[in-house]
A and B are shown apart, each in its own frame.
Chain A
Amino acid sequence: MSAPTAGRVLVVGGGTAASTFVSLLRQAGHQGEIVVVGAERHLPYHRPPLSKKFGDPLVGPDTWLREAGFYDEQGITMCLAETVTELDPKAFTVTTDLGRVLSYDTVVLATGARPRQLAVPGAHLRGVLSLRTLDDAELLREAVLAGSGMVVVGGGYVGLEVASVARSRGLPVSVLERENRLLARVASPTFGDVLESRHRERGTRILTGTEVIAIEGDQGRVRRVYLDDDSCVAADLVVVGVGAVPCDELASAAGIECGSAGGIVVDAGARTSAPGVLAIGDVTVRPRHGGPPMRLESIPSAMEQARQAVAMLTGAEPTTCEVPWFWSDQLDLKIKIAGIVEQPYETSLRGAPGGASIALLHHRDGIPVAVETANANADFMAARRMLASATPVDPRRWADRDVSLRELALA
């Protein structure tokens, strides 16, 4: 059973993980101070629409995770546009760029990730954008409304969402991908192929197996992108979507354990290697269902870790890790994925590759390990349940639309 807690809880970062955590901590009856220090000037906001809906007005009542009055009502102090520059886990203090030194009883690092930059000449020209923040999305929106021809560097989920919005507005779009297929790091080849053909059908130009070697401009503004086969693509706007890097500098400088590829290592109670220091969200390397720890960049993961951190602080029972899941909106496809697509696996398709809905179940030794779906909510929900319970699956029955999902998932 959880007990009310006291003391000053300081949260570094002002995104989804932070906002969820502070809300849940008050819900759990925490009686002490709660302070959030966030580098951005905005209150915590919904991040998914930035890449999915940036063609629409970005700021409105639905922008914010919780409205401004919420934090006051809940007794949560929001210090925005202030960056924590140093963490001293022995003194239980942080220092900010405003020169303030804040003490804490527990600090929660929720610093997130930043877009990986392209290390090529011209990457800093005007018109070369990456997308992480609301301010980034505003710039992207202005450029798209101006009718700019777009080159997307990186065929991952964010890049394809951005390409979808631009194509839906009739803009010319090229997607450049270094690997020989889209979504190479995160999706199965079958699913990547399905999405690639849908994007091509909608008129998006897709070049795979090609690397950007330079970006060139006129008078400081981007004009063209050079590729490693010496060809070039014209561009008024370049959107770089080549992954994200965890903002783990505070932790690593403080001697807190980080993963070999970056990210603060935490347990299922969000604890780091330092007493009094927790970490949640995209910045962490975290335990997960179905495999070794990894970074999971997703809203559901951040929110689960917020729950884990609150449970740890209030002494509630820790729970097992949930099946990770992700969603994406592209063209007319509502995409949902659960589990991690990692070799080895076999694939069983429900629906036809060119059909209106598709559901790929990936399994290993007859046990589901991941599911990738488009426009197939029921298939997704059934498969997610099968993943959570490790329900053995007969691949032929999954592929047979005459076999009901109830039989498969609730057997």
Chain B
Amino acid sequence: MPQITYVLPDGREETVDVPTGQSVMDGSVRNNLPGIVAECGGSCSCATCHVFVDPEAASLFDEPIDEEVDLVEFLEGACDRSRLSCQLIVSDACAGVRVVVPATNG
């Protein structure tokens, strides 16, 4: 099962197993990690699961759909590494990916 590393808002790092087919958001919620709020439960509506992903890692996930792009642009601290973690579906290729979780999801 792929492992994903979450760099948490307080700087701690947590590495957890995330089953393939689940999202990076799911992995955070299942393990009760801080920082990813996920108000809408993963329907790409709320933009409270913002994470930063480096370009090499980002290429392992699907490109963002228009809805995600529109939601992300006006988030506090948004940049070209911004993604919504509910849209990052984990595959075997994602093993070892690191995501940085900001303190601004709520």
Interface residues of A (CB under 8 A from B): 23, 26-27, 46, 48, 62, 65-67, 70, 74, 299-300, 303-304, 307, 322, 327, 334, 336, 377-378, 381-382, 384-385, 405-406, 409-410
Q: Nearest residue in B to A47 (C-beta to C-beta)?
A: B41
Residue in A23, A27, A307, A334 whose beta carbon sits within 8 Å of that of B106 in the complex: A307
Interface residues of B (CB under 8 A from A): 29-30, 32-34, 37, 39-42, 45-47, 67, 70-71, 73-75, 106
Residue in B34, B37, B45, B74 whose beta carbon sits within 8 Å of that of A303 in the complex: B37
Which of chain A's residues have a CB closer than 8 A to the CB of B30?
Answer: 66-67, 70
A381-B73 in contact (CB<8A): yes
A377-B71 in contact (CB<8A): yes
A299-B34 in contact (CB<8A): no
A381-B74 in contact (CB<8A): yes
Which of chain B's residues have a CB closer than 8 A to the CB of A327?
Answer: 40, 45-46
A405-B74 in contact (CB<8A): yes
A70-B45 in contact (CB<8A): no
Taken together as a complex, chains A and B put the C-alpha atoms of A303 and B32 apart, in Å, by: 15
Which of chain B's residues have a CB closer than 8 A to the CB of A381?
Answer: 47, 70-71, 73-75
30 contacts between A and B (CB under 8 A): A23-B32, A27-B32, A27-B33, A46-B41, A66-B29, A70-B30, A70-B32, A74-B32, A300-B46, A303-B106, A304-B106, A307-B106, A327-B40, A327-B45, A327-B46, A334-B45, A334-B67, A336-B45, A377-B67, A377-B70, A377-B71, A378-B70, A378-B71, A378-B73, A378-B74, A381-B47, A381-B71, A381-B74, A381-B75, A410-B74
A48-B40 in contact (CB<8A): yes
Residue in A27, A377, A382 whose beta carbon sits within 8 Å of that of B34 in the complex: A27
Most A CB atoms within 10 A — which of B40, B42, B70?
Answer: B70
Using known A-B contacts A307-B106, A377-B67, determine if residue A300 contacts B74 with beta carbons closer than 8 Å: no
Which of chain A's residues have a CB closer than 8 A to the CB of B29?
Answer: 66
B32-A26 in contact (CB<8A): yes
Taken together as a complex, chains A and B put the C-alpha atoms of A15 and B98 apart, in Å, by: 32
Q: Decide if the interface of chain B is mainly helix, strand, loop or mixed.
A: loop
Which of chain B's residues have a CB closer than 8 A to the CB of A46?
Answer: 41
Most A CB atoms within 10 A — which of B39, B42, B70, B106?
Answer: B39
The smallest C-beta distance from B14 to any residue of chain A, in angstroms, reads: 11
Q: Nearest residue in A to B71 (C-beta to C-beta)?
A: A377
Taken together as a complex, chains A and B put the C-alpha atoms of A49 and B80 apart, in Å, by: 32
The smallest C-beta distance from B70 to any residue of chain A, in angstroms, reads: 4
Taken together as a complex, chains A and B put the C-alpha atoms of A314 and B74 apart, in Å, by: 31
Which of chain A's residues have a CB closer than 8 A to the CB of B33?
Answer: 27
Which of chain A's residues have a CB closer than 8 A to the CB of B42?
Answer: 62
The 10 closest A-B pairs by CB, nearest first: A377-B70, A381-B74, A378-B70, A46-B41, A382-B74, A300-B39, A27-B34, A377-B71, A327-B45, A385-B74
The smallest C-beta distance from A5 to any residue of chain B, in angstroms, reads: 16
Taken together as a complex, chains A and B put the C-alpha atoms of A153 and B12 apart, in Å, by: 51
Using known A-B contacts A66-B30, A381-B47, A381-B75, determine if residue A299 contacts B70 with beta carbons closer than 8 Å: no
Which of chain A's residues have a CB closer than 8 A to the CB of B73?
Answer: 378, 381-382, 405-406
Q: Nearest residue in B to A298 (C-beta to C-beta)?
A: B39
B34-A48 in contact (CB<8A): no
Which of chain B's residues have a CB closer than 8 A to the CB of A26?
Answer: 32
Using known A-B contacts A26-B32, A67-B30, A304-B106, determine if residue A299 contacts B39 with beta carbons closer than 8 Å: yes
Taken together as a complex, chains A and B put the C-alpha atoms of A62 and B21 apart, in Å, by: 12
A65-B41 in contact (CB<8A): yes
Taken together as a complex, chains A and B put the C-alpha atoms of A405 and B42 apart, in Å, by: 25
Q: Nearest residue in B to A319 (C-beta to C-beta)?
A: B106
Q: Nearest residue in B to A383 (C-beta to C-beta)?
A: B74
